[in-house]
Structure 1
Amino acid sequence: MCNNTTVLNEKNTAYAVIFGFVMLLGLPLNAVSLWILLRRHSLKSPSAVFMVNLAISDLLLVISLPMRVYFYATGTWPLTTMACIWITMLFINNVRSSSIFITFIGIDRFLAVVYPLRTRHLRTTSNAWKSSVLIWTSVVMVNIPESFGFKRYLDSGNNCTCFEFYRKTGQSLTGLVYLQPVLVLILLTVNIVTTALVSWTLRRHLTDSAKVNKKMNVMLIFAMNLMMFTIFFLPVSFVVISEDWREIFKPLSCLASVNCCLDPLLYYFSLDGFWKKKEEFDTSQGQVALNSYDLN
């Protein structure tokens, strides 16, 4: 069995403090964001649907952090091995689901700016819900073989602690190890392409000084998406491939968890009327789409 104790030191205390800070900040921010999205936007727009699912993903991460704080603060794990595995899954799932939902939010904004009327039949709430269900189903299905793989690793007598699953020296990588880095890399590429196309469209059409703020607001969304990937998702996704990167796995895990505290900013800048009621938001969105169509 895996050794469910860890040596207490300054680094582990720092991890406990960071995860505790993320928990205390991320819980109210995402809970309030989810309440606003449900209360004022009623899940009647594609962007709102993806943002609600992103907020749920972040809240699932937040509820897994208390046990991480306890583990790094005390050096002991009071629960079962399977509890450790599933709490680890919540963290892994957050990186995957958040990166996908952030990309879908960017794609929805890309279609609204570049092809506002041509893609209205695609940008529907029904399609957004179908996509969300497919995303969650795929994420959970991948968890099944991963959890069995982690359990076999823990039962094999490796010298490890909870939340640290390292392959043996010289052990070959399985296909599942490559899943997350490949997924994140593909999604990052999609975000780079959509950012370039939206930037080109806005630079070409929005020349009126009165629309500069609107242009900056749209580009800020895509800039935040790229920042999320390059700082939070990409490093922690690739660290598991190399044995030489083991020492920085826990710091990168702490860094990746911070993304749940910044996602509420994405909601604010993505929805032109985040604080408005649904009726006011629909009116403003319709006007933006018509303006974009006129410019094209």
Structure 2
Amino acid sequence: MNNTNNSSGAMSYEYAASATVYGCVLVLGLPLNAVSLWILLRRHGLKSSSAVFMSHLALSDLLLVLSLPTRVYFYTTGTWPLGIQACTATTMLFRNNIRSSAIFITFIGLDRLLAVVFPLRSRHLRTTTNAWKACVFVWLLIVAVNIPESLYQIRRMKSCNANNVCFEFTTSGCAVGLPIVGYVQSGLVFAMLGVNVVSSAMVSWKLRGHLSDAAKVNNKMNVMLIFTINLLMFIVFFLPFSIVLTLKNRVAVMPMFCLASVNCCLDPLLYYFSLDAFWKKKEGSDMEVSLARSHESR
């Protein structure tokens, strides 16, 4: 009897903590990402490859934030009145944010790498058309993964009679995540982390003046902050979430899901440091202008 009460009390505490975290993320993330997306679209006009990648990252974060009211409601009331399909949709939005954010953040890092280290040779690659093609491919890939994953989750929830609860860790002994997807996601996150580590090292090497064909960059601190934020996103938010999802550790799942949701509140820092004078209407970032001047001076 005491064990049951202790278990119920611990679960109530976890639910209350989760509702609080998701509520705070909702309150902060909604205006931050909505305003960031508006600025990227209206003031920067998607006229550079970096702005295109950032706009899709902001959209991914906004989709995550829009799914959080259902989580706040569930963890506040302990009930799920919306059915299995709605549960599956909100779960996919949450997982998709980690996947798409990892890829778009890596694209932003690669774009900065090419702009700083290979400014002349990469000009034909760093176009808005190529950026849009890459983003569309990412979204199509994510949707393709969502189809079998969603069907599997719906089937598993029905077999477990999980109509009145939601999210994979609420039904004891009923794993509803497609096993292979967890491994694929972990592989993706580790691969993207590797790319970011290599990119950070190359840019750091360049900024120390070791690459003769690199562009001159005035705001070196901002450039390194971009890569530092990228690495922290992976190490703090993406890796723990993906590892726990793969291992299906029920004890760690709830806190890691809460931690992962916080990433959408920090992504606007990328836009601020990537696009100088972020709040002002400009044709491109100051970094882009300085690179162009560097090319002309040659």
How does the TM-score come out when normalised to structure 2? 0.88
Structure 1 position 282, deviation (Å): 5.6
SS in 2 for 1:194: helix
Identity of aligned residues (%): 60
**Partner of residue 36, structure 2:** 33
Distance in 2 (alpha carbons) for counterparts of 1:285 and 1:92: 33
Matched, 1:46 2:26: no
Distance in 2 (alpha carbons) for counterparts of 1:193 and 1:56: 27
**Partner of residue 3, structure 1:** none
1:191 aligned residue (184, 192, 196): 196
Residues 243-254 of structure 1 correspond to what in structure 2 (within 5 A)?
Answer: 243=248, 245-254=249-258
Going from structure 1 to structure 2, the CA distance change for 1:62 and 1:282 (only over 3 Å counts) comes to: closer
Residues 160-239 of structure 1 correspond to what in structure 2 (within 5 A)?
Answer: 161-164=165-168, 174-204=179-209, 214-239=219-244
Distance in 2 (alpha carbons) for counterparts of 1:283 and 1:227: 25
Question: Does the 8 Å contact 1:114/1:292 carry over to 2?
Answer: no
Distance in 2 (alpha carbons) for counterparts of 1:104 and 1:188: 12
Task: Give the alignment's Cα RMSD to 1 decimal.
Answer: 2.7
Matched, 1:264 2:268: yes
Question: Does the 8 Å contact 1:272/1:285 carry over to 2?
Answer: no
1:102 aligned residue (87, 100, 105): 105
Going from structure 1 to structure 2, the CA distance change for 1:283 and 1:257 (only over 3 Å counts) comes to: closer
Higher RCO structure, 1 or 2 (CA under 8 Å, sep 6+): 1
How does the TM-score come out when normalised to structure 1? 0.88
Measured against aligned partners, the alpha-carbon deviations of 1:24-79 in whole angstroms (never above 9, x if no partner) come to 00000001111111111111100110111011000100010000000000000010
Distance in 2 (alpha carbons) for counterparts of 1:85 and 1:169: 15
Structure 1 position 240, deviation (Å): 2.0
Question: Does the 8 Å contact 1:15/1:254 carry over to 2?
Answer: yes
User: Which residues of structure 2 form unaligned runs of 5+?
Assistant: 1-7
Aligned residues: 284
Structure 1 position 248, deviation (Å): 0.8
Question: Does the 8 Å contact 1:54/1:98 carry over to 2?
Answer: yes
Structure 1 position 283, deviation (Å): 6.5
Going from structure 1 to structure 2, the CA distance change for 1:145 and 1:213 (only over 3 Å counts) comes to: same
Question: Does the 8 Å contact 2:156/2:174 carry over to 1?
Answer: no
Q: Quick check: 137-146 or 197-206, which moved more? A: 197-206
**Partner of residue 273, structure 1:** 277
SS in 2 for 1:44: coil
**Partner of residue 115, structure 2:** 112
Question: Does the 8 Å contact 2:275/2:286 carry over to 1?
Answer: no
Measured against aligned partners, the alpha-carbon deviations of 1:222-267 in whole angstroms (never above 9, x if no partner) come to 0000000000001111112224x21110100000000000011110
Distance in 1 (alpha carbons) for counterparts of 2:197 and 2:65: 28
2:128 aligned residue (125, 128, 133): 125
Measured against aligned partners, the alpha-carbon deviations of 1:110-155 in whole angstroms (never above 9, x if no partner) come to 0000001110000000000000100000001100000111112112
Structure 1 position 285, deviation (Å): 1.5
Which one-letter code corresponds to 1:270 in the other structure? Answer: S
Going from structure 1 to structure 2, the CA distance change for 1:141 and 1:287 (only over 3 Å counts) comes to: same
Question: Does the 8 Å contact 2:276/2:286 carry over to 1?
Answer: no
Question: Does the 8 Å contact 1:113/1:292 carry over to 2?
Answer: no
Distance in 1 (alpha carbons) for counterparts of 2:182 and 2:173: 14
User: Which residues of structure 1 form unaligned runs of 5+?
Assistant: 1-6
Measured against aligned partners, the alpha-carbon deviations of 1:193-223 in whole angstroms (never above 9, x if no partner) come to 00000000101259xxxx9971111001000
Matched, 1:64 2:67: yes
Structure 1 position 273, deviation (Å): 3.1
Distance in 2 (alpha carbons) for counterparts of 1:152 and 1:252: 25
SS in 2 for 1:278: coil
